[in-house]
A = this chain, B = another copy of it.
Amino acid sequence: MNLSRREFARLAGAAAVVPFAPSAAFAQGGAAKKIRYCVVGLGRISLQHFMPGTKMGSLGEITAIVSGHRDKALKVAAEYGVPESSIYSYEDYDKIRDNPNIDAVYIALPNSMHAEYSIRAANAGKHVLCEKPMANTVKESEDMIAACKVAGKKLMIAYRCQLVPTFLHARDLVQKGSLGTIQAVESANGFNIAKGEWRCNRKLAGGGPLMDVGIYSLNACRFFLGEEPVGINAYTSVIDHDGRFDEVEENVVWTMKFPSGVLASCSSTYGASMEGIIRVHGSKGTLTLTQFGYQGIHLQARINGVNRGDPPQMIDDLEEEKDPAQFARESDYFSKCILDGLPVGPSGEEGLKDMKAMMRIYESAAKNA
């Protein structure tokens, strides 16, 4: 996948305001410089999505691996042309400092390990791309931001949706007034989790569906509205006492009030199929986004005519992408931010805002229990 300047300009829109600047990599002429990634954790998201995505993209390559399973690591390393000397265990992880063929790490570990391995990477002089949720606690998140700042390294949280053109189109409709005055947002996202997943272990996951998939709804509300909730109220519940939910919530619903007066209602679960959805309601129209999955996001919008009686403008914007295209975009986006010294849109500060909101959701649920 090659990013055209136009497309990158669009992607860059995910950051606050990033004037497009030609990549230093391209400006040098000849073969473009690539960001060399060390993948930390060989779970599904690394093996099936991020690594093939980076290979599919044009600005990154996999040059190192961190894994607790040497055999698995050797196999994957061979596949990606990673030399055996660039395979690390969690114990000797800090040695990445001495590897000049690593520019950045991709952290795809259980949530409880995000902070530690991000901070150790920053201390080793590497940029950090970390999966969501950023960490288990606000304190850990702040420490990650501080460590990257001190090290002068970039920190990105892998909010893949914020880079998908359809998602950005939806945000444009909201923020440029196409839907009129926004009044309400609804969102839901969840799934029926299998037994034995680390995601149901509080120590590893920090929480339940909220932190894993509800975060998509929370982040979408904040991202589309461009403001932070002043009020948050929530309930959690456990219905299935089958061992899956001894430590984390099975269901969570929450409402948010934003400074503009916009109200949001959100829902997440680990106990039922709950297709991702966002509906934004404005005085002039409604947009619906479905699916937060890796295969594309579907936007439908119905915008009323300016004059009464005008037929509504219908927008049907289906981004059909073959996985791992979203990860190629994510990997290339972070690479480009590093190569061109651009600020990162889905930054550590962005991740921290979600962390703070999620902690408020859990506090409210505890109070309302």
Q: Interface of A with B (CB < 8 Å)?
A: 179-184, 186, 188, 190, 192, 231, 233-240, 250-257, 260-267, 269, 271-275, 277, 279, 281-283, 285-286, 302, 304, 368
Contact = CB atoms under 8 A, between A and B. Distances in A.
Given A192-B283, A251-B261, A271 B181 contact: yes
A256 B275 CA distance: 21
A318 to B, nearest CB: 18
Contacts of A236: 263
B281 A262 contact: no
Q: Which of A250, A254, A261, A277 has the most CB of B within 10 A?
A: A261
Q: Which of A252, A260, A272 has the most CB of B within 10 A?
A: A272
Given A183-B250, A233-B234, 17 more contacts: A183-B269, A184-B251, A184-B253, A184-B269, A184-B274, A188-B279, A190-B281, A231-B235, A231-B368, A233-B233, A233-B368, A235-B255, A240-B283, A255-B265, A257-B368, A272-B282, A277-B279
A283 B255 contact: no
Contacts of A255: 233-235, 253-255, 265
Contact of A237 (B253, B263, B275, B277): B263
Contacts of A190: 184, 281
Contact of A263 (B181, B240, B252): B252
A253 B261 contact: no
A76 B239 CA distance: 55
Contacts of A279: 188, 274, 277
Contacts of A275: 286
Contacts of A273: 281, 285-286, 302, 304
B282 A261 contact: no
Contacts of A184: 188, 190, 251, 253, 267, 269, 272, 274
